[in-house]
Structure 1
């Protein structure tokens, strides 16, 4: 897909009337491409728009097939298939985003018409972002559900549009300027974390409404509860902290080391929840780590601090274990390869296990690291 060039980003910065984290993230990370010019200062009602036969095709595809990318459980799929579409008829920014995402999906499903659907996706996404900016800057009871749905779909759009043949910049950006032919993914994790702002300010309304089906599965799991891990997983994850412990050569400040410990605990929680009975859906569990990472650790990942990148490498194991789902397929391998390239040599003690699980021991020339070695046994 052609990248979203600077027009939309410039427009959003110029017209932003608040300092909301999500609004700032959108302004900084998204570029726009030439497309329909829609005023960001007004939000016309649905009757002000006319949609084409192509748009109807996109909406049909979304409701029939596309919703499976948002939830891997029935009630969640029904939510995005019905309620979210009903909201989209009230809030054009959400409708344009749905159509943009459906066009992206169709570009993969029908490669012979990929360019055709890419163009439609870019046009709708540009319009969606322009209309969304004033809405997220002025959250109300009336628009909070539509804004929440928008943030979920936007992250899924970014996640889905990742090219597995290119470096993955989910947590950190490239060293140089991004390739103009790609959709920018630099630190897209911040988009996912941005939805927390929507939740925190409108929690009661969201929890009482139809979106409660996304939150209810978590009600039986305290945010600090770490379910029992697979013994092998536990050994490897517990050994990871030795990379930044007080006895290691690591010279990070104590506060940052504590942040890494907290992020590691939350990663253990993800590993545990993936095998716990009656836990939330696997996709929900894997994605939950994005919002549980301490701010200072997320910033360390963005700066490519090596100890923080080790956490990303181990997180790739979780992504890989859900690769049977189309949304997750290939993402763990792609992110791990990118992370290993950034890490460079000297970290094999800790990267051996995720490499073996995600890429296979053949990827490392047959060398492997045994559990006995990790645990210090002779």
Structure 2
């Protein structure tokens, strides 16, 4: 030791190659100080995003990847000089998360079902916030039904079978909030409004132009599921709509309708256009970083 207390010959910090991923640290910081506050208008749910979700991400890598990906997309909105880089990193992070989550989904357990649930919520937000190819229409692309949507709908069985476990865990309040939105949406679906009158006209036009009864049934179901969302989002003086009011439609539409959309049937595209009208209402709402024009793209 020298008189100054420093060890003779001690290695300098720059003698080592750092294995700290500073981008990931930046994205984690951004998520907990900024992104989390844009994801819901309710204070309790915002606190879950700020505290409980990062804690869950420390347990499950696929949640961490998705959380960082969403943060990257959020940060890209405010850093135009880094936009392309951050969007690319978001895609890489999310794909890493998808690969891990896909291996977990067939053999989910009580220990990881909450992680799968949150990953699904993050994936929904990532998908709507991500730039898309001109030929993609959010739900289907050149290679068929989007991987994220297959995962999204696949987790319904996880949530149905593990509902009580999730409810009793750290993310229980978020599931309760989602259930409340679903109940509200069902109540609003039976109300008549200017918007539902247009949906009724659409339903009649579909019945007049489509001859296959199974197709008519699929289209009618997709149109009916839009009623609740429209009545919530466009209710006079009602500004309490949340992202769940968009995503619940994706849960409720049938596989048959998705296949028709994959085939680019004109009736399916028109119905999807109505869905995009709802998405447009969220361009400047509580999500806070927009959906990168998703509501303006069809095919």
How do residues 328-367 of structure 1 correspond to structure 2 at under 5 angstroms?
Answer: 328-329=290-291, 331=293, 333-335=295-297, 338-339=298-299
Mapped partners of 1:148, 1:195: distance in 2: 7
Residue of structure 2 aligned with 1:140, choices 100, 109, 117: 109
Question: What do residues 337-364 of structure 1 show as CA deviations (whole Å, max 9, x unaligned)?
Answer: x25xxxxxxxxxxxxxxxxxxxxxxxxx
Pair 1:236-2:198 in alignment? yes
Spell out the pairing of 1:6-17 with structure 2 (5 A cutoff). Answer: none
The residue aligned with 2:31 is: 62
Greater length-normalized contact order (CA 8 Å, ≥ 6 residues apart): 2
1:201 equivalent among 161, 171, 184: 161
CA contact (8 A) 2:185 2:229 kept: no
Classify the secondary structure of the residue corresponding to 2:247: helix
Q: Distance in 2 between matches of 1:141 and 1:207?
A: 12
SS at match of 1:81: helix
Matched-pair contact (CA < 8 Å) for 2:73–2:130? yes
Structure 1 residues 313 and 58: CA distance shift in structure 2, 3 A: same
Assess if the C-alpha contact under 8 Å between 1:67 and 1:80 holds in 2.
yes
Mind listing any 5+ residue stretches in structure 2 that lack a counterpart?
1-18
1:258 is the counterpart of 2:217: yes
Equivalent-residue separation in structure 1 for 2:237 and 2:189 (angstroms): 10
Q: CA deviation at 1:299?
A: 1.7
Q: Which residue is 2:232 aligned to? A: 273
- Going from structure 1 to structure 2, the CA distance change for 1:256 and 1:95 (only over 3 Å counts) comes to same
Question: Unpaired runs of 5+ in structure 1?
Answer: 1-49, 178-183, 340-378
TM-score, normalised to structure 1's length? 0.64
Describe the superposition over 1:28-75 as per-residue Cα deviations: whole angstroms up to 9, x where unpaired: xxxxxxxxxxxxxxxxxxxxxx64233211100011112245434322
RMSD of aligned residue pairs (Cα, Å): 3.0
* Offset from partner CA, 1:296-332 (integer Å, 9 cap, x none): 1122112212212221111122122233223555646
Matched residues in 2 for 1:330 and 1:122: separation? 14
Query: How far apart are residue 150 of structure 1 and its match?
Result: 1.2
Answer yes or no: is the 8 Å Cα contact 2:140–2:261 preserved in 1. Answer: yes
Give the structure 2 partner of residue 210 of structure 1: 170
Q: In 2, Cα distance between the equivalents of 1:318 and 1:100? A: 24
Contact persistence 1:85–1:95 (CA under 8 A)? yes
Q: Is the 8 A contact 1:320 1:330 kept in 2?
A: no
CA distance in 2: counterparts of 1:230 and 1:321, whole angstroms: 20
- The structure whose residues are more often helix, as a share, is 2
Larger radius of gyration: 2
- Report the CA distance shift for 1:290/1:209 in structure 2 as closer, same or farther (over 3 A): same
- Asked whether the 8 Å contact 2:283–2:290 carries over to 1, the reply is yes
Residues 74 and 154 (structure 1 numbering): CA distance in 2 closer, same or farther, change over 3 Å?
A: same
Distance across 2 between alignment mates of 1:173 and 1:119: 19
Question: Quick check: 2:232–2:241 contact (8 Å CA) kept in 1?
Answer: no
The Cα shift of 1:111 comes to 2.0
Tell me the number of residue pairs that the alignment of Structure 1 and Structure 2 aligns. Answer: 276
